[in-house]
Amino acid sequence: MAEAPKRGKLQKGKATIFDVAEQAGVSIKTVSRVVNNEPNVRQRTRDKVLEAVGRLQYRPNAAARSLSGRRSWVLGLIYENPLEFSYMKDVLNGTLSACEEREYSLLLRPLTLPSPDLVEHIERFVIQARVEGVILPAPMGDLSELLRLLREMKVPFATITPKTLAAGQVNVLCEDREASFSLTEFLINRGHRSIGFIKGDPDHSASGNRFAGYQQALEKHGVSCMERLVRQGYFDFDSGKAAAAELLDLPEAPTAIIASNDDMAAGVLLEARQRGLSIPGDLSVVGFDDTPLASRLWPPLTTVRQPIREMAETAAGLLMNKLNGKAAQPPKEPFACEIVIRESTT
C-alpha cells in the first residue's frame, strides 16, 4: 500500500497556511501575524515564515488572514430593499470585483425603508459579521442615524452619490446634474419645447440633481419650466407608467418626456403604446442609467450611461485602502456620464 503523503509537503494545488506553518516550524497564528505584518514577531521567526511563503508561493485568503482574531477582512454592502433598481446589479458587481482583487469577503444587508429598527439591525449586523467597513449606495449614505451609528462604532464607510459628503469618509460622486442638463439640451436642440419630467425617489440624491439639471437647461434656452409638466415617480416601472398617464392626459401633452431612470422610462413607453402613440413620431422618451433594459425595449431607449460598476469598484477599493492604512483620497473629479442616442428620440 502506498504511503500517505505527509502534511507539510507541497501537494498539487494551492499552498495553505498549514503548509507554511509546517515548513517554517511555527504555529498557524504566527504565520497569520507575519502575513498581516503585525508587530511583536521576532525578526528571525518572521524571516523563516517569509522564506516559506516564498518557497511555497503561498497567497493568503480571507479565512486564513482572519485567524489572527484581529481582522475579519469582511466588507458590508447595505442597500435599500426591495431590490427594484437595475443599477444595484452594477453596484454589487463592482463591489465584488474590488473585494475579490484584495481577497475580502462581502456580506449583503438589505433594509426596507423607512425602518424604525434601523440602528438595532445594523448594529447587530456589524457585530455578528465582524464587518470592517461598509459600502452605502444611495439613499443609505444620507441616513443620518445610520452614519451616526457607524461613526460611534468606529466603522469606516464609503458612500456612493450622497446628497451631503460624509466628512472623513470615502465619497464617490457622479455628474448627475450635468448629465441631465445635457440630456434636456439634447431634446431642446431637436425642437422640443414642451418637455415632461418624471422625478425619481425623493430619498435619493440623484433625483434632486437630475431635476436641477433639467431646470437649468430650460432656463438657459428660455423655455418655461411649467409645474404641470413635472410628476413624481419612485424609480420603478409602475410609477413611471402612472406619471406618463397623467402627463399624456393633459390638454397640451408634452412632445418629450424625461424619466429619471430607465425603469420609469419603460413605463412611459408602454403607456404611450397603449394609447396608440408613435415613438418617437408623436412622443420622444429618454431615460437614465443605460441599464440592459434600455437596449432591449422597442424602440431602444435614448438614455444616460453612468459608470455605476466603476463607481462602486472605486468606492470599495478606496475603503479597503483606508482600512489597510493607505491613502484613501477620493477621485479628484466626479465620474462623467454620456448620452447614448437610440431610436426613442427624433
* pLDDT tens for each residue of 189-229: 999 999 999 999 888 888 999 999 999 999 999 998 899 99
In 83-234, beta strands by DSSP E: 105-112, 133-137, 157-160, 170-172, 195-199, 230-232
Cell 509546517 -> residue: 22
Fold match flag (74-174+309-333 vs 176-305)? yes
Domain 17-68 has CATH 1.20.140.10: no
- Say if pTM beats, i.e. exceeds, 0.75: no
| Strand duo 170-172 + 195-199: pairing | unpaired
Domain 176-305 has CATH 3.40.50.410: no
- Nearest Cα to Cα of residue 303 among 259, 256, 273, 251: 259
Domain ranges of the chain: 17-68, 74-174+309-333, 176-305
Residue 9 vs residues 19, 24, 346: alpha-carbon distances, Å: 7, 12, 69
Establish how many alpha carbons lie within 13 A of residue 340's alpha carbon, considering only the half-sphere containing its beta carbon. 17
For residue 85, the model assigns a pLDDT of 61
CATH class of 74-174+309-333: alpha beta
Q: Once rounded to an integer, what is the mean pLDDT over residues 173-193? A: 95
CA angle 67, 159, 315 (to 5 degrees): 60
pLDDT, one tens digit per residue, over 39-79 is: 778 889 988 988 988 888 887 665 555 555 567 889 999 99
